[in-house]
Structure 1
Amino acid sequence: MTGLAGAKNGRTMRFSGRAALLLASVSLLPAAASAQSSAATGPRLQQASLSYSIAPGSLGSALASFGSRSNLQLLYPADITRSKRTAGVSGTMSPEEALGRLLSGTGLTYRFTTATTVTISGPAEQATVNGGQAGDSLTLAPVYVSGDQTGTGPVEGYVARVTAAGTKTDTPIIETPQAVTVVTSDQIRNQGATSISDSLAYTPSIAMQSGAFSRSVDDLTIRGFNVANGNLGSLRDGMKYQSNVYDGGQEPYGLERIDVLRGAASMLYGQLSPGGVVNAISKRPTTNPLREVNLEFGTYGRKQLSADFGGPLDDEGIFSYRLTGLVRDADNWVDNTPDDKVYIAPALTIAPDAATSLTLLSSYQHFNAGFSTPLQLDDVRTGRIPRDMFLGIDGFDRYKGDSYTIGYDFEHQFDNGLTLRNKARYFYSDVSWDYMMGNVSTLANSGGRLARLASVREEVSYGVTQDTSLEYTFDALGAEHTVLGGFDYYRRSYDSHRYRGAGVSLLDLRTGATLSNPAINYAVDRGSDTVANSYGLYLQDQIKFDDHWVLLLGGRQDWTDSTVRSYQNGRVTDQSDNALTGRAGLVYLFDNGLAPYVSIAQSFQPQAGSVTVTGNPLQPNEAVQYEAGLRYQPEGSNLLLSAAVYDLTQTNLTTTDALGNVSQFGEVRSRGVELEARAEFDNLGLIAAYSYTDARITESALASEIGQQIPLVPRNAVSLWADYKLDDLGLEGVKLGAGMRYTGSTNIFNGKTDAPSYLLVDAMASIDLGKLTQDLEGAEFKVNARNLFDKKFYTCTYSDGCRYGEPLTVTATLSYKW
């Protein structure tokens, strides 16, 4: 790395040549032998005293804790803290005094280069600077900025170093013994993603239906298993979110990042699908002023205004805020189908001192869209029904709803290495969902008519969730321990009224005219009312010893109960379950940045309301996963390479024989390989992923299902995204990007053929208008194109559950930040 990396307002800067030499010579001047005396010159920190409780142990970990608590950025060559230990610091004192005590006896020196930035160095770094020539570029060892990333904070660019999704603590990704991907807000913005599915399109082992469906709901599979609501793996800020998949998708503009943990994770989050979790992280208040407005226009009449504001509310920085929102008025490629949305998310943080913070988070979302009806395989395979044709009835079809959230996140760090966290949220959703189902029969198509059946649904759901934990860091028997213990609770309610048409309604495919109006049978309500509670106690220990080994051990006890009342027959099904799940993992950290790991993890998933043919409640699904992987992330670099292989088996699945008898000996086994690369070089950003997923049914009451691949899940998927700044080519401020997404063929139950593979190409071009003239400083113009070559494709879950894919869509965005 050439030059010295620094940070200003959370953004990385690089210097080279004379500027780097001047800065480095000031920052790394030889100092007195002791760390305490090295701070005698240079800018002074505010001397307000803070309480510190940093346990003896690894110097690198101690400095990270110090930087976070003191709101400082520590700059130092990555290797100078390796194998060094500190006696820690405890008590109330100035940040300057605390840092001096941490470095005492290490042979390292420090200097305050600004009021919030500290450079730490050793004799080798000073000699390098002193030996340089004034006109030369200055080459230093990689520099690590302590405290610049947390498990819930923003990440500049594409390469995250820290996540909380895999441990519920801020943990380096390279020390996490399970596959993790962090999709940053920069990636979401650069790729023009407008849904969770769009945001995860370049993530390995993720499969989803086409945008005709997934633009409205967050319905995904990970490693072959569905992740669609809170109890399956859809999270927000580390807690379960929607009570059902149709509560309305999360708005990506309101997110700081999306952390995807792949594989069984019940030890952390309770009842889940074994595929993993998608943890969306809300944008939070910032102490640095933030002002952004975006105006967007696009194909199909898309018009959108979005804005993001944040910053301190007082001079002391005790109060800070964030206000994020958007308004969209749009259609989509299907005629007579809106894509309108209103989203607003106010947030407030109260931080009376460096050890205590309370963040209030809230949101409101209104959506008005049309639900894309599934079609018969032959209808999409032959193309006899055009992909832009509206198959509903004007004034009848709708997918409209409102959702609200309000919650908080509290944290307090005590003086003895103990941290208390408590967070909670209330979620409410009210959705009206009426549409004409077009997959009823293909018989009417021969005469140019489509048989449809009306569906009317009114759905109300809510979720109450809380998580309270204690984290304790300490040294014992030559190892560093991070122990986490906690209790979480989730109560969900899903009240759904469902009615069907009394008979089919015919649509003339040649004229678009409805030949017979639907008659709704309101006498039969096919819905149900579900109320369920989940309680969990968990305990985890992350043990780091010899500065190279990381051992993770964890266990959890869950209790669940549910009551399901059927509106159709009045039957009430009560069910109670409990489960003990665990996880263990081991990582070895080589000095060169390589980190192999192995792990085993379990999951369980109750089946509320489901009963056998004798009326007995079903036992929970259970799963176990074995995983081995290898990561490569040199310290101080913007490079992360990951590889994983896994074997994941879920048992106790419901299976129905040819006579309709329900039993519970079904089994699905998923085995696969995942490769991922994320990198940022001088002007180049790169994201690449490959996944091989062999997810098949291994046990079933129907012999015809055994050995079949899970529908929608391709065995092979490849994605590649790259963007490049053209500054070195004389086009300062111009950036070009392009991506490709290949999805292999997928199995269709009861289908005559597989859904074919497809290759989609995306593109982006942006220009920083401030580079053209200072009058436009802070302004950017960007164009995104998805499915650039207008590839026609479709996705299917069953032979009567196929939907067309999204055609070419183009959006142009004018942004202004000040």
Structure 2
Amino acid sequence: MTTRLVCTALLVGACRFACAEDSSLELPADTVTADARPKAGLELDRPVETGSRLGLSLRENPASVSIADRVQIERVGARNFLDIANSLPGVNASAPPGWGGYVAYRGFNGAQISQLFNGINLQYGAANRPVDAWIYDRVELIGGPSSFLHGSGSVGGTLNYVTRLASRDESSGEARISYGRFDTTQVAFGFNQALNEGAGPRHYARIDFSRDDSNGYIDRQERGASNLAFSLLSDLTPRLSHTLAIEYLEEKEDSPYWGAPTLNPKSGTLKIDRHDRFANYNVEDGRYEQRTRWLRSITDYQLGDVTSLRNTFYHYEGQRDYRNLEVYRYSADNTTIDRSGGYRQRHDQELNGNRVELLHQGELFGHRSDWVFGLDYSVNQQTNYPRSVSAVHDNVTPGAFDPGHFEDIAGMTEPREKGRSNEIETSAAFVENRQQLSERLALVTALRYDHIELDGTNHRSVGADDPARFERRWDVFTGRAGLVYQFTHDLTGYVQYSTSAEPPGGTLTGASFSQVRDYDLSTGRQVEIGSKLSFLDGRGTATLAAYRIVRKDFPVAGPQPNTTVQAGQQTSEGIELAASLWLTPKLLAEGNFAWVHAQYDEFNEVVSGVSISRKGKTPINIPDRVANLRLTYDVAPTWQLGADARYVSAVYADYANTIWVPSYTVYGAFVSHRLDDHTEVTLRGRNLTDEVYARFIHQSNTQYYLGEPRSFELALHSRF
């Protein structure tokens, strides 16, 4: 009774907050209990929303589609959704300040990889800061262009972060508490509760909360974040269901780490002073903060036995604040460091939209034919308040310097004032079909039309490159066609062709007039062939995909921060392999490997006023190989051991490919013991060899964004 009252009170008090998207009628395939052990296989027969609105399983989809569900999240010890994404084939994700959730995949990065929250695209990379993993049910990935499903962009692929929602399962609860190196702590809990019984409408509520704090592995870098997710599922009639979902995030990071300066001379392999590995050259009171609210209202109505209707209203509000000194460069003799790049910024963003989908499962020409028809309308508004000073602030000696304060930076005490406001209005219509051509062969097609309107307002001084107002309009058609052939019950093969399109400037929410005035749509196309296989009587599963992506007329990062230049064409060709196998009844092996050859076919970089061709060069921050391997061994009914390894190859730090960051391999391990039927304790170690490695390289100032050193964590997890 107490839980029911608490859930009801939270619903009433939380309606001003906000949330993201998932299915209210389609429940997770598995219920995690205290007896849960790693599941065998890649779950090829599980439907994945990110790859299709038709409810296609991984096996039925003519694309490379992967999923990391709640069991895998806990198995890999993921602390945020980027940790989850990195467990998927070919993904290399990090979160350097100012870049949000940075992802490289299939030879592309940044805005070229769509990141969705419950199927909704915020259309701004800095909004994709990694949220703690506790409130997420799963992360889904589709490789290559998926504009036909999610709108403009996503030439390299799409990641979809799906939050937990109330379910019709029996009432349950769970809690977790952990402590690790650098005073890293988490306190989290979650409850799913049936609110009533008997005839008439039935209601189910779920609440999840986590609080995470850490002193950070970099000097003076401290972070705290709170996450709340609440949802109410109401079966109003046997045919009508409604889900209200609300989420709130608040994050604060003191003296954010902007990377370690690299030593001179900058040629070949970039190096840092390892004795100064944990130094923070930001000011004492540097700051990053964000507050986000999501709200979704999802209505499902079963019109008949084979026809259903879904309507999703969504609302998002986000505010992000930066206040930092961001650029650090060694003197020629590497004895002192110039600090520059004073930067103060605020983003106010609001997204409102509504999507309606009609699903019909019928027959055509004597064979099964499933259809989805839909409309999507949204308005995305963002206003920024920028202030930056590029001049050198001071010169400090590594190991002995006063970090100073933000207000000491010249020009940073001016009042906050608006810079630019952008409004993006998008109207879309889409259709998707799976037509069974024979008992074994199916044709899967999709077509989407987007009408995009950008209205920009410059609140500051007006010039030829910055008018007071500007408008641009684009009309975009994208699609997919794929064939899936079932050779046997356990083996399918597929081939597909898909396209993408996106406006210039990368992301329109932050685009300036100069970034969009002279450029038309960027376009992409992909050809992919692959197979999906179960073998050894279900003990093993595997997927294999080979692809070629061509992208034309697109922006790339310019030589100065927050600038872009235009490239003519890029080609990416690659292979992805994922597999899972029970080697013995107690030993599970899982792994994936991705190789990509990405190069510019048409791109001239201007260096000191001279145009130089970069044809054949690899884009910046793109690894050509990424691999993961995990072993899990059930030593006894109450004891479990695990080990893992992750490899990321070297990446280039300039368009000329003359400087690069070396490859790295990190190892981890865990031991878990069940204290009783409800509670387990886990000791986990990360980066056991204490590898010094860069997860990201800042292009404009060649600063390493170092990965976490060796650490250990002890966690207690209880389900009841």
> Contact 2:618/2:657 (CA < 8 Å) preserved in 1?
no
Q: Which residue type is aligned with residue 586 of structure 2?
A: N
Q: Deviations over 1:91-121 (max 9, x none)?
A: xxxxxxxxxxxxxxxxxxxxxxxxxxxxxxx
Structure 1 residues 323 and 221 mapped into 2: Cα distance closer, same or farther (>3 Å)?
same
CA drift at 1:466: 2.4
Aligned residue in 2 for 1:520: 411
* Whole-angstrom CA distance in 2 between matches of 1:213 and 1:455: 12
Aligned residue in 2 for 1:779: 679
Q: Say which structure, 1 or 2, has more relative contact order (CA 8 Å, 6+ apart).
A: 2
Structure 1 residues 801 and 466 mapped into 2: Cα distance closer, same or farther (>3 Å)?
farther
- Using structure 1 for the length normalisation, give the TM-score: 0.75
Where in structure 1 are there 5+ consecutive unaligned residues? 1-67, 72-146, 771-776
> Is 1:218 aligned to residue 101 of structure 2?
yes
Q: Deviations over 1:249-297 (max 9, x none)?
A: 3332111111101110111111113011111111011222121011110
| Equivalent of 1:575 in 469, 472, 475 | 472
Compare the two structures and name the one with the higher helix fraction.
1
* Whole-angstrom CA distance in 2 between matches of 1:657 and 1:314: 58
> Is 1:711 aligned to residue 623 of structure 2?
no
Q: Which residue type is aligned with residue 314 of structure 1?
A: N
Structure 1 residues 470 and 246 mapped into 2: Cα distance closer, same or farther (>3 Å)?
closer
CA drift at 1:320: 0.5
Aligned residue in 2 for 1:623: 524
Aligned residue in 1 for 2:186: 304
* Whole-angstrom CA distance in 2 between matches of 1:737 and 1:465: 44
Q: Secondary structure at the match of 2:599?
A: strand
Structure 1 residues 495 and 263 mapped into 2: Cα distance closer, same or farther (>3 Å)?
same
Q: Which residue type is aligned with residue 651 of structure 2?
A: T
* Whole-angstrom CA distance in 1 between matches of 2:360 and 2:558: 52
Q: Deviations over 1:475-519 (max 9, x none)?
A: 221210110110112321221112123652333322132479322
| Equivalent of 2:139 in 232, 255, 258 | 258
| Equivalent of 1:492 in 376, 380, 387 | 380
CA drift at 1:307: 0.4
CA drift at 1:811: 1.4
Query: Within 5 A, what are the aligned runs for 1:191-230?
Result: 191-209=76-94, 217-227=100-110
> Contact 1:528/1:565 (CA < 8 Å) preserved in 2?
yes
CA drift at 1:644: 0.6
> Is 1:234 aligned to residue 115 of structure 2?
yes
Aligned residue in 2 for 1:166: 51
- Using structure 2 for the length normalisation, give the TM-score: 0.85
> Is 1:683 aligned to residue 586 of structure 2?
yes
Aligned residue in 2 for 1:640: 541
* Whole-angstrom CA distance in 2 between matches of 1:454 and 1:655: 23
Query: Within 5 A, what are the aligned runs for 1:395-794?
Result: 395=285, 397-439=286-328, 441-443=329-331, 446-501=334-389, 503-514=392-403, 517-521=408-412, 522=414, 527-570=419-462, 571=467, 572-607=469-504, 608=508, 609=511, 616-633=517-534, 637=538, 639-654=540-555, 666-679=568-581, 682-702=585-605, 703-727=612-636, 732-749=637-654, 752-770=658-676, 777-794=677-694
* Whole-angstrom CA distance in 1 between matches of 2:658 and 2:100: 28
> Is 1:248 aligned to residue 137 of structure 2?
no
> Contact 2:276/2:399 (CA < 8 Å) preserved in 1?
no
Structure 1 residues 548 and 806 mapped into 2: Cα distance closer, same or farther (>3 Å)?
same
Aligned residue in 1 for 2:219: 335
Q: Which residue type is aligned with residue 208 of structure 1?
A: A
CA drift at 1:245: 1.8
> Contact 1:212/1:806 (CA < 8 Å) preserved in 2?
no
* Whole-angstrom CA distance in 2 between matches of 1:445 and 1:400: 36
Q: Secondary structure at the match of 1:175?
A: coil
Where in structure 2 are there 5+ consecutive unaligned residues? 1-23, 31-35, 265-269, 606-611
Higher mean Cα deviation, 409-418 or 795-804?
A: 795-804
Structure 1 residues 642 and 354 mapped into 2: Cα distance closer, same or farther (>3 Å)?
farther
C-alpha RMSD of the superposition: 3.0
Q: Secondary structure at the match of 1:485?
A: strand
Structure 1 residues 224 and 455 mapped into 2: Cα distance closer, same or farther (>3 Å)?
same
Question: Percent same amino acid at aligned positions?
Answer: 18
CA drift at 1:717: 1.7
Structure 1 residues 173 and 567 mapped into 2: Cα distance closer, same or farther (>3 Å)?
same
CA drift at 1:238: 1.8
> Contact 2:339/2:392 (CA < 8 Å) preserved in 1?
no
> Contact 2:92/2:626 (CA < 8 Å) preserved in 1?
no
Paired residue total: 654
Q: Which residue type is aligned with residue 360 of structure 1?
A: L
Higher mean Cα deviation, 517-526 or 363-372?
A: 517-526
Q: Which residue type is aligned with residue 701 of structure 1?
A: N
Aligned residue in 2 for 1:99: none
Q: Secondary structure at the match of 2:59?
A: helix
CA drift at 1:426: 0.8
Q: Which residue type is aligned with residue 222 of structure 1?
A: Y
* Whole-angstrom CA distance in 2 between matches of 1:236 and 1:687: 27
